[in-house]
């Protein structure tokens, strides 16, 4: 069981590295991405400065608010373009790793690869106990451990390699699907 868990951890690390390598090859090294990212970073800084320098004079505030709204709209547009550039390669990577996932799923099919220290919520029991015999819900299937490992490894790998969006860009974000807080 321990060797299976370590194997899955290594598979997650390798697929995350391969994914980031392909993303770098297809997205991060392109001039279009570099220009958009620099533009977003520059606009975030300018927007922060504008928000900090707002005066208390009501007459000037109206004009400043309109300028800030213009900046936010341009920033949202650039973030949307940036997300679109990334999305093209994500489809390719998604198809590739779905095939790999299917292959690994057949290798670990029906094997308990780890023992969870908790009973998962009923919403997650279908995936955490997928294709396993028995009723012990603390038994963990390949797919559940793989997803957990990949999610944590990939996020940290993006931060380590400098590919994760800056906090300012994320805060003013937008992207293709803005959150409720960003759309206000």
Query: Where are the alpha helices (H) located in 53-141, listed in sequence order?
Result: 58-107, 122-128
Tokens 């803005």 found at: 178
Is the Cβ–Cβ distance between 11 and 146 less than 8 Å? yes
Mean pLDDT for the chain? 83
For the chain, the C-alpha Rg in angstroms (whole number) is 22
Token couple for 149: 């490992």
- Look at residue 30 and tell me whether its pLDDT is greater than 80: yes
The tokens for 31 are 């001039």
Reported as a single tens digit per residue, the pLDDT across 141-157 is 999 999 899 889 988 98
pLDDT at residue 7, rounded to an integer: 92
pTM beyond 0.85: no
173 band by pLDDT with thresholds 50, 70 and 90:
low
Angstrom distance (rounded) from CA 172 to CA 182: 7
């Amino acid at each position: 069981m321990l060797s299976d868990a370590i194997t899955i951890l290594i598979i997650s690390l390798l697929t995350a590295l391969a994914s980031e390598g392909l993303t770098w090859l297809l997205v991060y090294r392109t001039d279009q991405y570099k220009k958009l990212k620099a533009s977003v970073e520059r606009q975030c800084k300018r927007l922060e400065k504008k928000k900090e320098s707002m005066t208390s004079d009501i007459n000037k505030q109206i004009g400043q608010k309109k300028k800030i709204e213009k900046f936010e709209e341009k920033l949202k547009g650039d973030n949307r373009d940036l997300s679109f550039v990334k999305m093209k390669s994500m489809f390719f990577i998604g198809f590739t790793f779905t095939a790999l996932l299917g292959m690994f799923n057949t290798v670990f099919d029906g094997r308990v690869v780890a023992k969870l220290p908790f009973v998962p919520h009923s919403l997650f029991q279908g995936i955490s106990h997928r294709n396993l015999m028995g009723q012990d819900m603390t038994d963990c299937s390949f797919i559940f451990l793989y997803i957990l490992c990949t999610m944590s490894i990939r996020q940290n790998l993006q931060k380590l390699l400098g590919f994760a969006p800056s906090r300012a860009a994320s805060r003013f974000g937008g992207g293709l699907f803005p959150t409720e807080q960003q759309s206000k």
